[in-house]
Amino acid sequence: MNGRAQRAFDVLVVGAGPVGAAAALMLARKQWRVAVVERQDLTQLRAPREDASYDLRVSAISPASRALLARLGVWAALPSERVCPYREMRVWHQGGRAEMHFDSALLAAPDLGSIVENRLLQSAMLRQLSALPGVELITGSALAALERQEERVRLTTVDGETLSARLLIAADGRGSAVREALDLPVLSGAYRQRAIVVNVDTERPHRHTAWQRFLQTGPLAFLPLANGQSSIVWSADEPRADELMALDDDAFRQALGAAFEHRLGAVTGCSERAAFELSWHAAERWLDHRVLLIGDAAHGVHPLAGQGVNLGFGDVALLDALLDAGEGPWQRRQLRRFERQRKAETFAATQLFSALKWVYGQPHPALALLRDAGMALVDRQTLIKRWIVDNALRNLA
């Protein structure tokens, strides 16, 4: 960007990931003038070719999130051949005999959700944003300074460009530069685990089923991909994760198959692997003057339930419901209401996922028996399972 004069918008959105892009789309479709600032250069981001290998980072999109994306015009823009619905989910644990089986047929629903590559979502959203006249997309330009004024927020990029708006929405991830610039307090903790992500081929088809086994060293998930592969998220205690990352492909496939109890037969092939540190965080304040945190800038959870992006889309969905097109999105009354509701909901989810990780990681035989009893009870009771599935379909966003 060459201009140095301050440019004014209704809303600034910092962060063009799936949650930030969804927020910008929602606001722009309400006829507000929006600028999106993203530190990464996204000019080369394109939807993958049909025959391209699948991205290592995928998301399990809940039906509620899918409904939001459909309203924003994003879902129809995704190439259907790379989106994989899952209709069943099976959950079991190390050291036990019980298993929970969830089926979308319980509610006569078509599926429990869809597995989508993160880059696919992001590229579709950026195409939608680029087509809207009221949106300016500024990528490859990081935040340099932030100033809170009485009626506006002024942002300066490292390129020297100055932008202002009556509201700034920070959707710039776990290490939010906006949150740090304002010195907003955040509660956080490390799980001392790493999540290993890899795409694998298996001897038998995945049957459009999401599989999760809780191991004492961390949960292991097999998520179905549209090309017949499975996306693996293996969360493991750091020493175990180091061991797994050091294995050659043959040894890793054998270890993975054994940890999964060969539910899909042998693991016959795998892509490159990547690993990332796991932690949780919860911002103590989401609203500061005319700055609002959403998505991972406000909250972060363990990936065991695959719900991080759904919680972020839930932020956008509530904002969409609260912000009437006739009122400015900077109305403090509505933003306070949003903060109270989503802060409580996401903090509860953060603690729930942390508790599940702890409970299933304990090797004590008495706890294994309790886990078995609880899982067996849920699996036998159709009404309980229907309630769980119904809430998952409606509320995970």
H or E, element range at 129: helix 118-131
pLDDT digits (tens, 9 = 90+) for 195-223: 999 999 999 999 999 999 989 888 999 99
**How many alpha carbons lie under 13 Å from residue 153 in its C-beta half-sphere?**
26
Residue 252 forms part of a structural domain: no
146: number of Cβ within 10 Å: 19
Residue 397: pLDDT above 50?
A: no
Asked if 27 contacts 327 with a C-beta cutoff of 8 angstroms, the reply is no
Strand pairing category for 162-170 and 7-14: parallel
**Residue 355: its H or E element:** helix 332-361
Query: How confident is residue 326, by pLDDT bands cut at 50, 70 and 90?
Result: low
First to last CA, the chain: 36
Q: What are the tens digits of pLDDT across the range 100-125? A: 888 998 878 899 999 999 999 999 99
Q: Would the pLDDT of 70 be above 70?
A: yes
Q: Pick 107 or 152 by higher pLDDT.
A: 152
Residue 358 has pLDDT above 90, yes or no: no
Asked, for residue 350, whether it belongs to a domain, the answer is: yes
Q: Which of 294, 297, 292 is nearest to 315 (CA)?
A: 294
What is the pLDDT at residue 393?
58
In CATH, what number is assigned to the domain containing residue 342? 3.50.50.60
Residues 353-368 have a mean pLDDT of 61
Asked if residue 271 is part of any domain, the answer here is: no
On the 0-12 / 13-18 / 19+ scale of CB atoms within 10 A, 44 is exposed
| pTM of the model as a whole | 0.89
- Give the mean model confidence (pLDDT) for residues 354-366: 61
Helix ranges, the chain (H): 18-29, 63-71, 118-131, 177-181, 238-246, 249-259, 308-322, 332-361, 365-380, 382-395
Mean pLDDT of the residues in the chain = 88
Alpha-carbon gap, residue 124 to 47, rounded angstroms: 7
Which pLDDT does position 162 carry in this prediction? 95
197 within a domain of the structure (yes/no): no
Q: Which alpha helices (H) appear in 79-183, and where do they start and end? A: 118-131, 177-181
Say if residue 23's pLDDT is above 50: yes
Residues in the chain: 397
The pLDDT value recorded for residue 2 is 44
Residue 43 burial class via C-beta count within 10 angstroms: exposed 0-12, middle 13-18, buried 19 and up? exposed
Task: Collapse the DSSP code of 278 into the 3-class scheme (helix H, G, I; strand E, B; otherwise coil) and give the result.
Answer: strand
User: Is 29 part of a structural domain of the chain?
Assistant: yes
The closest of 217, 212, 258 to 236, measured between CA atoms, is 217
Does a structural domain hold residue 260? no
Q: Which residues contact 51 (CB under 8 A, 6 or more apart)?
A: none
pLDDT of 267 higher than 60 = yes
Write down the pLDDT at residue 1. Answer: 40
Q: In the structure encoding, which two tokens stand for residue 265, read together?
A: 């037969």
Give the position of tokens 């692997």. Answer: 273
Residue 80 zone, left/alpha/beta (φ > 0; ψ -120 to 50; rest): alpha
The reported pLDDT for the residue numbered 396 is: 45
Give the helix ranges, DSSP H, for 226-302.
238-246, 249-259
Q: What's the rounded Cα separation, in Å, for the pair 306 and 316?
A: 18
**Count of domains for the chain:** 1
Q: Is residue 207 part of a domain?
A: no
Q: Which range in 37-46, 209-218, 356-365 is most confidently predicted, on average pLDDT? A: 209-218
pLDDT for residue 337 is more than 60: yes
Which of residues 161 and 396 earns the better pLDDT score?
161
> CA 75, CA 80: separation in Å to the nearest integer?
9
Q: Let me know if residue 237 belongs to a domain.
A: no
Domain containing 51: what range?
A: 1-83+101-190+281-397
- pLDDT score at 237: 94
Contacts of 260 (CB under 8 A, 6+ apart): 211, 213, 220, 222, 267
* Whether 319 contacts 23, CB under 8 Å: yes
